Amino acid sequence: MRTLHGIALLVLFCSAHGATSKRQNVTDERVNVASNDGKKGAFIKFPLEVGKRIEADTDGNKIISTLSVTVMLSVLYLAAAGDTAKQIENALNLPPNAEKVIDVLTTLRNAVERPNRDFNLENYPLKTETKVILKESLAPPPENEIAKTFAEFVAEHLFAKIEVTPQFDDTVRSKVNQWASEFTKGTIKNLILPGELNENQAALLVNAVLLQAKWLHPFDPSRSKKYDFFVVKDKQNQTFKRIQVDGMSAENLPCRYVWLEKLKSHALELRLSDSLSRVLILLPGDLSANLDDLENAVDAKLFTDIHSKLMERQDVDVQIPVVNIETKASMRMLLEKMGIRKVFERDSAELPGLTGKLLDHSIHVSDFKHQANLKWNETGVLASGGSVGDIAFTWNLSPVINVDRPFLLYVNSFASSNSRQPNLILFTGRISLPVVSYEE
Ligand SMILES: *[C@@H]1O[C@H](CO)[C@@H](O)[C@H](O)[C@H]1NC(C)=O
Ligand SMILES: *[C@@H]1O[C@H](CO)[C@@H](O)[C@H](O)[C@H]1NC(C)=O
Ligand SMILES: *[C@@H]1O[C@H](CO)[C@@H](O)[C@H](O)[C@H]1NC(C)=O
């Protein structure tokens, strides 16, 4: 028997348990994420791996909202079946068990929905929203069980809204771009570029993430000054040049810190005001250390180790630069290298959550793009991410062919009305001027 994964387990879970409650018991899930293997896989291992694989820009910068990418893939996972789902499940390291997957998704939801100490959701610093926009001609009828289950499930766990559009035109593009820009306080602009949506578009998957928070211990602007920052001039022979950057500093900053002897690096954790979001900085102790080597060394185990070694200190003096960077990346090849291939394949991707039909290959993901921003200053952090998944019809539903130039033709004869191969060519021709200009 053919196995269905995402969709199958979703249907199984929903029929066995009915709808899950809207709000979960609020335990400190976010800080305990690393203690559970399934959650560690989806939210620690996978993001580390994706982060490593994104190439830095020419300045050597990169920033990626791994939350945005994880949510996008989770939506695709829940829409998928068969090997399409299995490959996403493997890459995300999801546990192969329906209830555990639900558990993983609940962790994700709690991380984003968690009220802050004042239980004021409005001020909670982390937000994400996803839109699944389906072309009207593709959208399953409202009573379709598969589509209904999928829609309810992604709405509840992944903040995803399903919308329908008669066509993917520039109005859709500007509406989505405006939504992403407003959601991210104007930091994610032009998520979808002109010309990106075409007549072959079956659906569009978009996600935006925003983290906006003040530092728990803000930096005093009166201490801010420019300072020397060493930028790599030549990676091969490790030469550097000094440049002046805007810096902020603090003395006796309460934070968690540890010197990692094995990695010859400092690990410093700066808290944001909600205390659940924190910034971990890994800084090589030696200027000539290769940052690639350090990045490659950080796997899920080491990441957990570092966090268990971090110690509360009240006496750390720090000087860090003001940061403002941006990354735009195409994710398709990267995800394919991580084993997520089927969802991109024409004729074999299976996404029944979107079509409402099992064993249907009429759509596939044709592109997956991501952009992210990170800014911080004395006051706080503003980080945002946006992702776009283009979902195309595998067959162009209504190709427009305008025979308006010279062409070749063949008139053939077939053995029967359902033969696919002609057995005789009756005429061959080439038409350059379709109407004979008569000569008397
Ligand atoms: C939430 O979970 C904790 C620990 O498991 C338990 O003590 C508490 O009663 C629960 N609260 C609610 C509202 O269910
Ligand atoms: C470092 O590499 C650059 C270009 O690759 C070269 O011009 C320069 O001479 C090298 N410096 C040393 C000290 O080897
Ligand atoms: C930091 O940036 C935020 C947002 O742009 C701004 O409101 C705030 O005043 C800035 N803080 C300082 C100290 O410049």
Alpha-carbon distances of 91 from 41, 84, 342, 434, rounded to whole Å: 9, 11, 12, 56
Cα–Cα dist 316/300, whole Å: 26
- Specify the DSSP class assigned to residue 141: P
- Nearest CA, atom 3, ligand 3: 379
DSSP for 177-204, please give it.
HHHHHHHTTT-S--SS-TT-S-TTEEEE
Buried b (16+ CB within 10 A) or exposed e, 19-49: ebeeeeeeeebbeebbebebbbbbbbbbbbb
Closest-approaching ligand to the CA atom of 232: 2
The 3-state DSSP class for residue 374 equals strand
- Protein residues whose CB sits closer than 6 Å to any atom of ligand 1: 25, 27
pLDDT tens-place values along the chain, 440 residues long: 345 677 766 666 655 444 444 334 344 443 344 345 556 677 888 999 999 999 888 888 999 999 899 999 999 999 999 999 999 999 998 887 777 888 888 878 877 776 544 445 556 788 899 999 999 999 999 899 999 999 999 998 898 999 999 999 999 999 999 999 999 999 999 999 998 898 889 999 999 999 998 999 999 999 999 999 888 877 777 788 888 999 999 999 998 899 999 999 999 999 888 777 889 999 988 888 888 899 999 998 899 899 889 888 888 999 999 999 999 999 999 999 999 999 999 889 999 999 999 888 889 999 999 999 999 999 999 999 999 999 998 865 444 566 667 777 777 777 777 777 777 777 777 877 766 666 55
Nearest CA to ligand 2 atom 4: 234
Spell out the domain ranges in the chain: 6-212+325-393, 225-321
- Does domain 225-321 sit in CATH 2.30.39.10? yes
Ligand nearest to the CA of 29: 1
The two tokens of residue 352 are: 């029944």
The C-alpha angle with vertex 100 and arms to 360 and 156, in degrees rounded to 5, equals 65
Instruction: List, in order, residues 6 or more apart from 102 with CB less than 8 Å away.
Output: 13, 20, 157
Q: Whose CA is nearest to atom 2 of ligand 3?
A: 377
Give the number of whichever ligand sits closest to the CA of residue 379.
3
Token reading at 351: 């996404």
* pTM reported for the whole predicted model: 0.81
CATH architecture for the domain at 6-212+325-393: 2-Layer Sandwich (3.30)
**How far, in Å, is the centroid of ligand 3 from the Cα of 380?**
7
The first and second tokens of residue 95, run together, are 């546990």
Give all strands (DSSP E) within 94-237, no chain letters.
126-135, 160-165, 201-214, 225-234
The protein residue whose alpha carbon is closest to atom 9 in ligand 1 is: 25
Nearest CA owner, ligand 2 atom 14: 237
Strands (E), 55-193: 126-135, 160-165
Compute, in angstroms, the gap from residue 326 CA to the centroid of ligand 2: 29
| Mutation test residue for ligand 2: of 232, 233, 234, the one with most atoms within 8 Å of CB | 234
How far away, in angstroms, is 237 Cα from ligand 2 center? 6
Q: Give, in order, the Cα–Cα distances in Å from 264 to each of 1, 45, 115, 288.
A: 53, 23, 38, 11
